Amino acid sequence: MNSGNRIAEAEHRRLKASYKRRRNIVALIFLLPNLVFFLGFLLLPVISLFWQTFHDGGVLSPMRFVGLENWRKTFADPLVLTTIRNTIVYSLIAIPAVFLLAMIVALAMRTAQHGRSFFKAVIYFPTLQPVLIAALMWTFVLHPDFGALNLVIRIFTGEPVNFLGDPNLALPTIAMVEVWKGLGFWALLFFAGLAALPTEIFQAAELDGAGPVRRFFQHALPLMKPTFFFSVIFATIVNLQLFDSVFVLTDGGPSNATATATWYVYRSLFTFNEPGFGATLAFVLVAVVLVLTAVQTILLKGGGK
Amino acid sequence: MRIEFATRGNRIGRVGRLMSSKTPSLCRTGVASVLVSMGLAISIGTGAIADDHLSGDITMIKGPHSADEHRFEQMIIDDFADVAPNVSVNFTTYDWANMNAQLTTGFASGNPADVLYLVDLIYPNYIEGRALHDMSALVADPDWAGERAAIAPFAWDLATSDEGVWGVPVLGAVYNIFINKDLLEAAGVADTWQNSYADMLDAAKKTTAGDVYGFAARTRTADFAFWDWLPYVHNAGADLLNDDWSGCGLAGAGAATQHLIDLHQAGVTPAVGSMGTQEPFDLFKAGKIAILHGETPQINELLANPPAFDWDVAMAPPGEKGQTVMGNFGILSIAEASENKDAAWAFIQHWASGPQVGRFAEQVSLQVVREDIVGDLFADNPAMSKIQTEFVPRVKGIQPHPQILKVLQSIWPVAEEAYRGNLTGEETIGKMCEIIDGIVG
C-alpha cells in the first residue's frame, strides 16, 4: 500500500506539473495577441522614446546623439514647470468636481422611480460628443460678446465674463467643460457600483433607524471603495493627459494659463520639430503619472486598512 | 540679416500687359470672378506649348487664402493641362494654425506633397532639415532667366540660404490697419490719428463710446497676434533677433510695446484674449471698431458686402526709426522626397508665371513679388492698389531663422500678460529677451 501510495504521489506530482504547464501554455496562447500589441504599440515605442531623449532630430534630419542635453533643457525650461503645475491644478479641480456631481446624479438615478433609462441616456450624451463639437458649443455659451451664458450674466452684472480669455478663469473653465463631458461616464459607473451593493444591509440599517445620509456615508461609501479606488487611479491617469479641449479651446493660452504637459509635448514634437525634447517631456509626464498613481495607491490602500 | 520688401520699378512684361487688359476688376462677385478667370484661362491656355514628356501624378499642398481656395487652384491646374497634359495635379490644403504639425507629419511619412507652398515663418526649419529640394540648378535654367529676373531680388534672398535656392517666391501678405473714416471724422481725428502713437491713442479714446471700440488688434498666440505688434517693433528700429541672429534684438522696442499696452489699458479695446481674428473684423464691418489691425484678404469681404460707412486701409503711425508695414512671404518648394520633381518644377513654373500668380493674387487680395505685373494689378480695387504701391515698399518681414516660429510663440504669452497691464513695456522686452536668448543664444 505504502509503495503504491508513493508511486501515486509521484505520478500525481507529474500530472499536476503537466497540467500546470498545459494551463500556462493555453493562457499564454490566449495572451499572445495582446502581448503582440503590448510589445508593438507600447513597450517598443516607450523604449524608442527613451532612446530619443538622448538624441536630436530624427524626423526631418538624421538622429544625432546629444547626451543629457534634452534632460538639461527640460529642467531648465520654466514652461515645463508651468505645464506640470497647470496639469495638476486642473486635475485637482476636475476630478473632485466630476466625482461629486457624478455621485449626486448616480444617487438620483438610483432613487428615481420613473424615466431612469431616459435619464441615463441623456446624461451620457455629452460624453459621446466629439471634442470639436463640444468646443464649438461651449464657445457659443461662453463667448464674452455673444455667448448665451454671458448674455444672462450681463443682465445681472452689466459686464461679461471673459471665461477663456482671463488667465485666472481659463483653466477652471476648461475643467468645467471636461466635467460636463465626463459626467455621464462617471455617473453611470457610480450608478453601476451603487446598484451592485447588497440591499439587505441598507434595509437593516433603515430598520435600525439610519437616515438616507447616514446610510450613504456609513454603508454605501465604504462598500464602494473598490469602485472609487479604480476611479481615482483611472481619472488621474486620464486627466493628467489633458490635451484635446485645451488644443481646441485655448491652445495653451491665455499667457500659458492652460498650457498642459501633453499640450507642450505635442507642441515640441510637431510645431517646434524638437522630437528629442518632446520625448523627454513625455517621459517626465510618465514619471509624474507614475508617482501620483503610486501615492494614490498607497494612500487608498492604507485607508482601507 | 535684414529683409526689406521693396519694389524696384514697374517693369511690365508682355504677359503682364496681356493679363491686365483681360482682367477688368478684382472679383466683386463670384460670377464675375469665374468669367474673368475663364477668359484668362483661355488666353493663357492657348498660348502655352504643351510638354508631352512630363507625366504622372503630383500633389500640391498650401494653406488657404480664401474660402474659394480650391476653386481658384483648380483654375491654375486646369490651365496647367495645356502645359503638361499628361500630368495630374492633386491639390490639398493644410490649416494655418497647425501647418508645421501637418507638414512635418507629411515629411516624416516619407511621402510628402511634391509641391509645397511655404511661408517664411516655417520654411527655414525645413531647409535646415534638408526636407526641401535644392532648386539652384532649376532656377538657373537659361530658358527660365526672364521669369527669374521678373521676381524681385529681395524675394530671391528670402528663398536662398545655405548655398541653395529652396523655392520660387510667389506671394506676399501685408498686415494693414482698417479705419472707419466716418467714426474718425465724427470724433474730429480723421486727419490726425496717424501722426503719432499719442495721436492714435487719443483717436482711439475719442471714438470709443457705448459698444464702439476705438482700437482692436489681435492678442492671442493662436491668432498670430505678433503680426500686429511687430510693425511697432520695427518702427522703433528693433527686431526679434540681433544682426547676427545670436540673441535678442528687441532692445529699443519698450516704448512701442508700452504704446500697445496703453491702448489695451485705456478701455478702448475688446477685452484682451476675448477675440480671435474674425470676430473683431465682424465688429468692424458692423461699424463697431474705429481702428482695426487686419490682413489684406479681408478686403475682399468688405468689397463683397460693402459696410454702411467709408473705410480705408492704413499703416501704423511712424515710430522713432521709421514707418514700416508687417508682411509675410510665400515660396513654392519641391519636397526632396518627391518622385516626380520634373513635373513639380513644371507646375511651379506655371503657378509662378505672371498671369497665374497675378490672377490668384487678385482673387485672394494678396501681393505679388513679380515686379513685371505689379503696376497692372488691382486696377479697380483702390484699397489693394494702395497697399501694393504705398505699403509694400515699406514692408519689413520677419527674420527667417529656423526657430523663428518657436521664438514668436514662446514670447507672445509675455505680451499677453503685458496687454493685461501686468508688465511695463520695458519689462515685457526684458522677459522676451530672456526667452529669445534661451532659444537662439
pLDDT tens column, A197-241: 888 888 888 888 888 888 888 888 888 888 888 899 999 989 999
Evaluate whether B118 touches B339 at the Cβ level (below 8 Å).
no
Place of cell 496703453: B262
Task: Count CB-CB contacts under 10 A for residue B105.
Answer: 15
Helical (H) or strand (E) element with A55? strand A55-56
How big is chain A, counted in residues?
305
Chain centroid to CA A229: how far? 13
Alpha-carbon distance of B165 to B23, in angstroms, equals 32
Give me the domain span that covers residue A207.
69-304
The residues, any chain, with a CB within 8 Å of residue B349's CB and separated by 6 or more, are B144, B147, B168
Grid cell locating A19: 497540467
Distance, first Cα to last Cα, chain B:
16
Structural domains of chain B ordered from first start: 4-174+327-396 (3.40.190.10), 177-294+404-433 (3.40.190.10)
Evaluate whether B3 touches B396 at the Cβ level (below 8 Å).
yes
Specify if A39 maps to a domain. yes
The residues, any chain, with a CB within 8 Å of residue A272's CB and separated by 6 or more, are B100, B403, B405, B406
Contact check, Cβ <8 Å, B405/A164 = no
Contact check, Cβ <8 Å, B222/A250 = yes
State the pLDDT at residue A213. Answer: 85
Total structural domains in chain A?
2
Nearest-Cα distance to chain B for A156, in Å, is 18
Mean pLDDT throughout A149-155?
Answer: 90
Helix axes A131-142, A167-195, angle to 10 degrees: 120
Residues A20 and A82 in one domain: no
State the pLDDT at residue A302. Answer: 63
Residues A178 and A239 in one domain: yes
Alpha-carbon distance of B248 to B226, in angstroms, equals 16
- Whether the pLDDT of residue A1 is over 80: the answer is no
Quick one: DSSP state of residue B219? -
Nearest-Cα distance to chain B for A270, in Å, is 4
Contact check, Cβ <8 Å, A271/B409 = yes
Residues A102 and A187 in one domain: yes
Helical (H) or strand (E) element with B395? strand B395-396
Q: Does A63 contact B at CB distance below 8 Å? A: no
State the pLDDT at residue A3. Answer: 52
Specify if A103 maps to a domain. yes
- Whether the pLDDT of residue A18 is over 90: the answer is yes
Specify if A62 maps to a domain. no
Contact check, Cβ <8 Å, B100/A59 = no
Grid cell locating A71: 534632460
The residues, any chain, with a CB within 8 Å of residue B41's CB and separated by 6 or more, are B75, B78, B79
Q: Does B50 contact A at CB distance below 8 Å? A: no
CATH of the domain at A296: 1.10.3720.10
* DSSP one-letter string for B261-314: HHHHHTT-SSPTTS--SHHHHHHHHTT-EEEEE--GGGHHHHHHS--SS-EEEE
* DSSP one-letter string for B40-85: HHHHHHHHPPP-TT--EEEEEEE--SSTTHHHHHHHHHHHHHHH-T
Specify if A60 maps to a domain. no
State the pLDDT at residue B15. Answer: 32
The residues, any chain, with a CB within 8 Å of residue B152's CB and separated by 6 or more, are B5, B6, B7, B8, B169, B369, B370, B371
Percentage of chain A modeled with pLDDT above 90? 48
Burial class (CB in 10 A: 0-12, 13-18, 19+), A25: exposed
Averaged over successive runs of 10 residues, the pLDDT of chain B (441 residues) comes to 35 33 34 40 44 87 94 97 93 91 90 95 89 95 95 89 91 95 97 96 96 95 93 97 95 96 96 89 96 93 94 96 93 95 96 96 91 87 91 90 92 96 97 95 81
Residues A94 and A144 in one domain: yes
Phi, psi angle pair for B62, to nearest 5°: -160, 150
The residues, any chain, with a CB within 8 Å of residue A242's CB and separated by 6 or more, are A87, A90, A91, A174, A178, A260, A262, A263
Contact check, Cβ <8 Å, A165/B104 = no
Specify if A235 maps to a domain. yes
In B, minimum Cα distance to A147 occurs at B274
Contact check, Cβ <8 Å, B413/A256 = yes
Tell me how far CA of residue A96 lies from CA of A92, A108, A165, A184, A259, in angstroms: 7, 18, 24, 15, 21
Residues A142 and A75 in one domain: yes
B364 in helix, strand or coil?
helix
- Whether the pLDDT of residue A168 is over 90: the answer is yes
Contact check, Cβ <8 Å, A251/B410 = no
The residues, any chain, with a CB within 8 Å of residue B163's CB and separated by 6 or more, are B136
Q: Does B431 contact A at CB distance below 8 Å? A: no
Which chain A residues have a beta carbon less than 8 Å from that of B279?
A: 145
Residues A10 and A121 in one domain: no
Q: How many beta-carbon pairs below 8 A join chains A and B?
A: 88
- Whether the pLDDT of residue A269 is over 60: the answer is yes
Residues A106 and A236 in one domain: yes
Residues A142 and A6 in one domain: no
Evaluate whether A53 touches A70 at the Cβ level (below 8 Å).
yes
Residues A8 and A85 in one domain: no
Grid cell locating B381: 480695387
Average pLDDT of every residue of chain A: 89
Nearest-Cα distance to chain A for B99, in Å, is 8
ipTM: 0.78
Which chain B residues have a beta carbon less than 8 Å from that of A160?
A: 271
Which of B125, B409, B413 comes nearest A273 by C-beta?
Answer: B125
Which chain B residues have a beta carbon less than 8 Å from that of A271?
A: 98, 100-101, 405-406, 409
Alpha-carbon distance of B172 to B195, in angstroms, equals 27
The residues, any chain, with a CB within 8 Å of residue A51's CB and separated by 6 or more, are none
Residues A94 and A47 in one domain: no
Which chain B residues have a beta carbon less than 8 Å from that of A144?
A: 270-271, 274
Specify if A126 maps to a domain. yes
Specify if A8 maps to a domain. yes
B 277-316 → A contacts, CB under 8 A = 279
Residues A254 and A108 in one domain: yes
Specify if A226 maps to a domain. yes
Which chain B residues have a beta carbon less than 8 Å from that of A251?
A: 97, 220-222
When scoring B274, B282, B410, B440 by the number of chain A Cβ atoms within 10 A, the one with the most, hence best to mutate, is B274
Residues A116 and A236 in one domain: yes
